[in-house]
Structure 1
Amino acid sequence: MADRQEKQGASMAAPDFIDTPQGRRIAYHMTAGAGPTVVFCGGFKSDMEGTKAIHLEDWAKATGRAFLRFDYSGHGQSSENFLDGCIGDWTNDAFEVVSALIPGDVVIVGSSMGGWIALNLMARFQLKIAGFVGIAAAPDFTEDSMWAGFTPEQRDELAQNEQLALPSEYSDEPYIITKKLIEDGRENLVLRTPLTLDFPTRLLQGTADEDVPVSVAMRLLEHVEGDDIRLTLVKDADHRFSTPDCLKLIEASIEEVLARC
């Protein structure tokens, strides 16, 4: 469920850091501007230097909007080892960064796993959330995609070795899934209990996404409750969702949510 991304290369400035109560050092870039602050939550094994994060920072600077992008622990320039992390840790990272840096309302933009992180934040913490934009949001993927897709032999290997190596579409190195990731994921599922999104919510999904199929977006749409929730399907868009037209749609969706806050 890695978030396919392309490196933009436009951000050369060194990040700032915040130390969390859990002892992790989280890298971030904060753009000053008008609130509500737009917060970008990236995907699994992604980082804040990806195309969408950098594009939205440029958009925020051009429009005078406050914007935050950051790396979860074990990702990008933050501390810790990726294999030691899990959904609960990365949710806590997001909460600590947002609560420490942003005193007012936030609009969260969650890409792939970042969509699950965002929904987990909404379910667990009392953040001042004014809106949500999900891009190929992937709630509960460790259970419904990874675990559900494992063979009995793979499940046995994971239980015995506490790790499972899978072929990766993104590099020559194998894709390591840990027992901790799967077990912790079960403690953070958001599609098994009622979830109300009482703020403007826009879900964006490509029909050619091979990592997060349209069925996931439909299930999320049917599960959540709220008066202002819309799903937009983009024919032939893949999981990157980073073509010029897709980036414009993300901008437009954020602006629509901001206008309705």
Structure 2
Amino acid sequence: MTDQTAPQYLTTSRGRRLAYRKTGGTGPTIVFLGGFKSDMLGTKAVDLEAFAKDQGRAYLRFDYSGHGESDGDFLDGCIGDWAEDAEAALDRLTDGPLVLVGSSMGGWISLLMTRRLPERIAGLVTIAAAPDFTEDSMWAGFDQAQRTALDMVEQVSLPSDYGEPYIITKKLIEDGRNHLMLRDRIDLPFPTRFLIGTKDEAVDLSVAYRLLDRAEGGDIRLTLVKGKDHRFSDPECMELIKQAILEVSGS
């Protein structure tokens, strides 16, 4: 699906100008939280807006600072900044209960939101959630030369399956350590669905198992989809995401 609508903008208390698109409807509001260096014009974000409209549900998608149509330089950002962006968007652009749908890094951000705004979360769906990836995937996978480069020039380049190489900054790695989720119990006292493909090349299945092990709540399920990759956006996967949203919404 394509999106021809113009975004609106929110300026946060930190002075960051965030692009967003919001549609009205009943609650709980569905909020899509995108991944690392992705944006709200992707297949999942746009398709879920159409789904929300069909369901008569309120929906919000937005770009973190340095992503998509939001202001800022991607290289200046870090997990803490993007979590602040998400919290500002939820606080100022939505009312009442929320169903968070977090994709990849957005899964990490959405988990952070369950700690910061626990009284507002009615349900959670994650898609190839990547909590702690800066530490457990990036830093743990760096060789000595990369770690030295990060220390000396404060950035290192990593290949990407999605186009240009990723430039990983020292700030991103160090800040990520302040927001780790998989070292402690994660209280999720609302319906929760974790989705991931068995052919995910970006998030190892062990991450999903660790997340399930740390998560505590009365209605938590992990679904592995055989043969699907990190994009998780073909028609079959989109139907699974939509069904998960309906389940955690009590629909």
Of 55, 66, 70, which aligns to 1:63? 55
Instruction: For structure 2, list consecutive stretches of 5 or more residues without a partner in the other structure.
Output: none
- CA deviations on 1:22-81 (whole Å, 9 max, x unpaired) are 000010000100100000000000000000000000101111111000000000000110
The one of 178, 200, 214 equivalent to 1:223 is 214
Mapped pair 1:49 → 2:41: yes
* Distance of 2:85 and 2:165 partners within structure 1: 26
| SS of residue paired to 1:14 | coil
CA distance in 1, matches of 2:118, 2:126: 19
1:33 aligns with 2:4: no
Could you tell me how far apart the structure 2 residues matched to 1:168 and 1:247 are? 24
**Which secondary structure state, in structure 2, belongs to the residue aligned with residue 137 of structure 1?**
coil
Shift of 1:103: 1.6
1:83 aligns with 2:75: yes
**Separation in 2 of the partners of 1:245 and 1:195?**
29
Question: Which of 179, 194, 206 lines up with 1:203 in the alignment?
Answer: 194
Cα pair distance change 1:126/1:203, threshold 3 Å? closer
Q: 1:246 aligns with which of 237, 240, 243?
A: 237
What's the CA shift string for 1:206-254, capped at 9, x where partnerless?
0000101211111100111111000011000000001111000000000
Q: State the aligned residue count.
A: 251
Query: Within 5 A, what are the aligned runs for 1:187-202?
Result: 187-202=178-193
2:114 is aligned, of 112, 119, 122, to 122
1:236 matched to 2:227: yes
Q: Of the candidates 165, 168, 191, which is equivalent to residue 174 of structure 1? A: 165
Local SS of the residue matching 2:113: helix
SS in 2 for 1:109: strand
Per the normalisation by structure 2, the TM-score is 0.98
Map of 1:17-28 to 2, 5 A cutoff?
17-28=9-20
C-alpha separation in 1, matches of 2:109 and 2:206: 19
- Paired position in structure 2 for 1:160: 152
Distance in 2 (alpha carbons) for counterparts of 1:29 and 1:208: 31
What secondary structure sits across from 1:238 in the alignment?
A: coil
- 1:86 shift after superposition: 0.3
**Secondary structure at 2:65 match in 1:** coil
> Could you tell me how far apart the structure 2 residues matched to 1:174 and 1:251 are?
32
Say which is worse superposed, 160-169 or 61-70, in terms of deviation.
Answer: 160-169
The equivalent of 2:4 in structure 1 is: 12
Unaligned runs of 5+ in 1: 1-7
Partner of 1:3: none
What is aligned with 2:127? Answer: 135
- CA distance 1:164–1:127, shift in 2 (3 Å): farther
TM-score, with structure 1 as normaliser: 0.94
What whole-Å deviation, never above 9, does each CA across 1:97-125 have from its counterpart, x for those lacking one?
11101120100000000000001111234
SS for the counterpart of 2:187 is coil
Percent of residue pairs identical: 61
Distance in structure 1 (CA, Å) of the matches to 2:220 and 2:150:
38
